[in-house]
Amino acid sequence: MEELGGRFFVCRNCGKPVVVTDSKDKRFVFCSKECERIYWKRSEGTRKKKREKAREVYVELEKNVTEAVNKASERLEAIRTE
């Protein structure tokens, strides 16, 4: 496409294929300002949700690891006292 004097990309928000033939057109990621605005607005909330989910997963993992270590310590202590 570049050799024909244009470029091609898929809008990151709506998935619409975009062919840009005007060299003054600076679009590279989004097909329109509206799609860009929607993407960043949605992404802000999505990032927050992902952070919250990651925090929940980390806390649960930490809890599981702590329980496993405690059980292993109890087993080891039981073996030593035998």
Q: Report the alpha-carbon distance of residue 70 to residue 32 in Å, rounded.
A: 56
Q: Does this model's pTM top 0.85?
A: no
Does position 5 have pLDDT exceeding 70, yes or no?
A: no
Q: How far is CA 58 from CA 16, 27, 62, 78, in A?
A: 37, 39, 6, 30
Domain span at residue 51 reads 2-81
Q: CB of 47 within 8 A of CB of 53? A: no
How many domains does the chain contain in total? 1
Handedness of CA 66, 69, 71, 74 (dihedral sign): negative
Question: What pLDDT sits at residue 34?
Answer: 94
Rounded Cα gap, residues 59 and 44, in angstroms: 23
Segment 39-68 shows an average pLDDT of 81
pLDDT on residue 47: 67
Quickly state the pLDDT bin for 2 (edges 50, 70, 90). Answer: very low
Residue 75: its pLDDT value, please?
92
